[in-house]
Amino acid sequence: MKLLQDRIRRDGVIKSGNVLKVDSFLNHQMDIELLNEIGKEFKRIFEECSINKILTIEASGIGIACITAQYFKVPVVFAKKAQSINIDGAVYSAKIESFTHKKTYDVIVSKKFISSEDRILIIDDFLANGCALAGLIEIVRSAGASIEGIGIVIEKGFQSGGELIRNMGVKLESLAIVESMNAEDGSIEFRE
């Protein structure tokens, strides 16, 4: 998505440790006009999938998922990050080991909000090592629901998540795939 690539080039900040900061337009301050274009693009890509629900994870996935949901006219469910102590039989849960944040946590979704009838589009802002996404996939599968597609705004193509998830045989589409980025000179290359 050209508009998104241009915006990442203009306003993205490359930090050491392969972190791309996009908090001026995507995951802290949010540019709603851009998010609308992102929502339309996900609609175009996943038009043929007959989805009835969007699943994302708190916090930064929520805004993007909600705007996208307006184009599909479906509800959004977001997985919550939880302390293990709260987990009981009323929720689907998955353990996530974040390499980025060097911590392990559980994500949960109430059994009330996903069932075997559901055809789900998963939406998230970033794909790095894919642990968060793998957790969401595990939750959908535990519910017996189907994954119709996964839409990511920014994938870091030089990390392992994209390959990991695509190898699971799900339709994963990222609107911008960063092939490489350099914190020294600020240069960034996208996969075409």
Known binding site for xanthine: residues?
Answer: 20, 27, 156
- In the complex with ligand G4P, the residue whose CB is nearer, 47 or 166, is 166
Given Na ion, ligand G4P, none, residue 24, with its beta carbon under 5 to 8 Å by kind, binds: none
Q: Return d(Cα 184, Cα 167) in angstroms, integer.
A: 33
- In the complex with ligand G4P, the residue whose CB is nearer, 4 or 127, is 127
- Judged by the rule CB under 5 A, the positions of this chain that interact with Na ion are 60-61, 124-125
Phi, psi of 157 (to 5 degrees): -65, -15
Annotated binding site for 5-phospho-alpha-D-ribose 1-diphosphate: 128-132
Phi, psi of 166 (to 5 degrees): -60, -35
59 binds ligand G4P per the rule CB under 6 A: yes
152 binds ligand G4P per the rule CB under 6 A: no
Annotated binding site: 20, 27, 128-132, 156
Question: Which residue of 125, 137, 140, 175 would you call a contact of ligand G4P, by CB under 6 A?
Answer: 125
CB 94 within 8 A of CB 139: yes
Q: Return d(Cα 24, Cα 150) in angstroms, integer.
A: 24
129 binds ligand G4P per the rule CB under 6 A: yes
Q: What is the largest CA-CA distance in the chain?
A: 51
∠ CA 69-74-78, nearest 5°, is 70
131 binds ligand G4P per the rule CB under 6 A: yes
CB 53 within 8 A of CB 46: no
What distances in angstroms separate CA 178 from CA 8, 45, 154, one per listed residue? 10, 19, 7
- In the complex with ligand G4P, the residue whose CB is nearer, 59 or 87, is 59
- Unique residue bearing structure tokens 């929520």: 62
Given Na ion, ligand G4P, none, residue 7, with its beta carbon under 5 to 8 Å by kind, binds: none
Q: Which stretch binds ligand G4P (CB under 6 A): 40-48, 64-72, 124-132, 137-145?
A: 124-132
| Interface contacts to ligand G4P, rule CB under 6 A | 19-22, 27, 57, 59-61, 98-101, 125-132, 156, 161
